[in-house]
Amino acid sequence: MSTPLRRMATRGVRIVSTVAVAAALVPALVLAQTADDTATFHGDLGRTGAQPGPAPSGDPTLAWRFATQGAVRAAPVVAGGVLYVGSNDGSLYALDSESGEERWRFPTDGPINGSAAVVDGSVYFASGDGYAYAVNAESGEQRWRYYAGELNPDIETLPAEEQDRGAITTSVMVVDGLVYVSSNSFKITAIDAETGIERWHDFSNKSDVTTPSFGDGALYFSSDAGIFSRDAQTGAVRWTAYLDAELAETQAERQSESARPTPDPATQTAAAEETIAAGGVVEETATETPAADATETADVGSEGLADIGTTPTLLEVVEIYSDFTWDVASAPVVVGDLIYQTAYAIQGDDAGSVISTLLLVLSAEDGSLVDIWSFYAWDLTLTTPAIVDGSAYVATDEGLVYAYDTEQRLQRWGVHTESYIGSSPVVSDDAVFFGNDNGTIYALAAEGGQELWRFQTGGAVRSSAVVLNGLLYIGSDDGSVYAIGGS
């Protein structure tokens, strides 16, 4: 069976091919890391997957293991010698990064599946209970919490199976004094990092919102409806690249209103700051609600716009797949002036009818479509790709990991691990790290995909790794956090 894109293509690039297709993309530049943005999901604010390193060398050895009371699917973050990670038992844990000794834990009323962010002595995170939290990084004492799970007032009453709307399963982001939280209620919220008061929110889509990313003053986030760019400070619309033609039409006249800044709550701000200064806790701030096993080389390939002809708009690509629905589950990745976004098209009501998995490349400036790759695979990509040093590393639910040269526009290699991958790959010291549902953590050579080592845990690995100071930190569904060193 061929996809619409494949039927239009005149040729494809097979794995291990040394023949490039057409002109190269703009060279990819990894965002510079700073003290404030390394302790965040996927390594930096652009979500590139680049890790500080150094990575473990030689054979993998267990440095330490810490057991929680639930599956650990959140990716750990490390700051100031302390590892912070959430668990499905509802607690955020602070562990000594060298010994694994517990320093404190903070309980919530829901599972914590997203990563925390650590900035200026505070840890910010969100829970399945719908709240965003700020706690003291040293003591674990709550500074404030804010309910970010408010439902979109434009959406009609949800059926019973949708009543978990409002839960937060994504990773928070903190930049320039604002905390960004996206929820299952189709909403993204910007909260003042000091006071816990909402500054603005956006209800401009009709599906779950992904973990946000940041670059050059702009906020980027995605959903099944499309890829969105907003001014990070004000929430003003910069652009929207729709994957939903009907929504694009209905939102056209409302786009100027899609980000609705909250009225300046001067009195609330002063009271909150006074409470914090006095050592108290801001419990919740009300805001006005606006209306409205052995790895094996995989025989897979790719195709790009060079095979199709002239560059279509994103909505024109959607029209090619007019009989299908689009799903987006990964965070957009910001690399220089480009946005990388994985998506997949489905025919029917279940994921068994996937027609194609795509890697979209858009302009960060205006959202125009720069390039697109369609995989020769009938599987989904539910994780955030790593885009590092001119290569894109994409994992799928069928256990495949692909490497693409984003400059030469060719697929370099593919590896099959024979089990679902729900772990976003990361890159450090010329190696790619990820886990799969067999409970295995893999290290592959970034250049050729050769297996460097593997480490077995007691449960599925859907957490993503952090790599620094010669250790790899990751969680497992067996309820443990692992620190893996080298021999």
Question: What pLDDT band is residue 415 in, cutting at 50, 70 and 90?
Answer: very high
- Report the amino acid identity of residue 328: V
Contacts of 93 (CB under 8 A, 6+ apart): 66, 68, 83, 84, 85, 86, 87, 102, 104, 105, 481
Lowest mean per-residue pLDDT among 10-14, 124-128, 305-309, 394-398: 10-14
What domains appear along the chain, each with residue ranges and CATH number?
A: 4-486 (2.130.10.10)
Per-residue pLDDT of 150-191, as tens digits, reads 765 555 554 444 445 568 889 999 999 999 998 776 788 999
Predicted confidence at residue 451, as pLDDT, reads: 97
Q: Considering only CA atoms, which of 319, 310, 333, 288 is closest in space to residue 30?
A: 333
Instruction: For residue 459, name the pLDDT band (cuts at 50, 70, 90).
Output: very high
What proportion of the chain, given as a percentage, has pLDDT over 90?
56
pTM given for the model = 0.82
Instruction: Name, of 36-40, 372-376, 399-403, the range with top average pLDDT.
Output: 399-403
Tens digit of each residue's pLDDT (9 = 90 or more) over 65-88? 999 999 999 999 999 999 999 999
pLDDT 10s digits, 239-298: 988 887 666 665 555 544 544 555 454 545 555 555 445 545 555 444 443 333 334 434
Average pLDDT over residues 95-122: 97
Which one, of 226, 221, 234, lies nearest residue 260 by Cα? 234
Calculate mean pLDDT across residues 206-227.
87
Token reading at 359:
């890697």
Instruction: Please state the φ and ψ torsions of residue 48, each to the nearest 5 degrees.
Output: -75, -25
Q: What is the mean pLDDT of residues 224-251?
A: 83
From the CB of residue 376, how many other CB atoms can be counted at a distance below 10 Å? Answer: 22
371 vs 435, residue with greater confidence:
435
